[in-house]
Amino acid sequence: MKSAIKMGLFLSALIISQDGFTQVKSSNHSVKNTTMEVAISTNKGVIHSLYESIMNNRKFDLLSSIVSEDYTNAQGEKGIEAFKHGIMAVINAFPDAKWILTEIIAEGNKVFVRQQVQGTHKGVFQNISPTNRAISNDGMVIYKFENGKIISYQIQTDRLGFLQQLGILPSDPISLIQGNESNVFFVDKFIVPKNAIVEFTERMQYNRNFIKSIPGFIKDEVIAYEDANGDITLMTIAVWQNQGFFNKAKQLVEAEYKKINFNPAEFTERLNIKMDREVYKAYQK
């Protein structure tokens, strides 16, 4: 009888012990889940603050509370000022810029955002002179957090739509290569180091203004891409009515260069600019 009682007590103690252990495990799991949920909620709150208080209301003094000192931008600049640099590039070109959050999803240490930027092009942006045109550009951003602060982000925007809204590209890009079969397309491709961009842009603009006065000129376009180092890959496309007008234009440009004492080869070599040049005609199947 005593033996049975002891066995009963032992089993009861074992059940209680196991139940208590299960409760501890469950409690620890619950604490971890709660901690993660709090972090996710906090990260989402940081992004809302970034867009509404800092970017839209220009309260940049608050950046230090949400951006890590270890943040590094695409140009290799570090810290809060590096983060601010990208925002100010937009605001300087679009003084009335407004960011709209259209969707926000948080998971782990990352926050995914769909955004829309609206503004009027009043200043130079990525070497594009002011057009005074209004834009509404959609994009996606993934922000990564570390210790409660933004450590990095990746952004993708509708670059084609952006250039079309500014009038840099036509609404139908294929129109760049459509036209009379006798049209000549003169294409230059340049890779320009970031420290040479200002001087190169001034020279390019001089050339563009000059060729527009030459008979047979139809139109020209400039397409550019900025890489992670800040260098620019740029293409100029000049469309001429036919080969005869194009040949005459080359002669007039060469004469202008002699007149102003400009040597293109020396210019590109001095600025370490790489250049490829091709002449195209409309492809007829």
**222 and 253 housed in the same domain:** yes
Q: Closest by alpha carbon to 102, among 115, 111, 91?
A: 115
Specify if 26 maps to a domain.
Answer: no
Give mean pLDDT in consecutive 10-residue pieces for the chain, a chain of 285 residues: 53 52 53 59 91 95 94 85 93 96 91 94 86 92 93 87 81 58 90 90 89 88 83 90 92 93 93 92 71
What is the total count of domains within the chain?
2
CA 119, distance to chain mean position in Å, is 16
Domain end, chosen from 135, 163, 191, is at 163
- 123 and 159 fall within a common domain: yes
pTM of the model: 0.54
Report if residue 38 sits inside a domain.
Answer: no
Does residue 224 share a domain with residue 274?
yes
Residue 115's nearest CA partner among 146, 85, 136, 93 is 136
Give residue 179's pLDDT. 54
Query: Does residue 34 sit within a domain?
Result: no
213 with 276, same domain: the answer is yes
Tell me which residue range forms the domain holding 202.
180-281
The verdict on residue 173 lying in a domain is no
Are residues 64 and 153 located together in one domain of the fold? Answer: yes
Residue 276's CATH number: 3.30.70.100
Q: Is residue 35 part of a domain?
A: no
Give residue 168's pLDDT: 73
pLDDT at site 268: 93
**Contact, 205 vs 168, CB < 8 A?**
no
End residue of a domain, out of 134, 163, 192? 163
Which residues 6+ apart lie within 8 Å of 114 measured at CB? 101, 102, 103, 104, 138, 139, 140
Domain with 109 in it: what CATH number? 3.10.450.50
Residues 138 and 203 in one domain: no
Shared-domain flag, residues 224 and 255 = yes
Whether residue 238 is found in the same domain as residue 146:
no
Residue 17, domain member (yes or no): no
pLDDT in tens, 104-158: 999 889 999 999 999 999 998 877 888 899 999 999 999 999 999 999 998 888 8
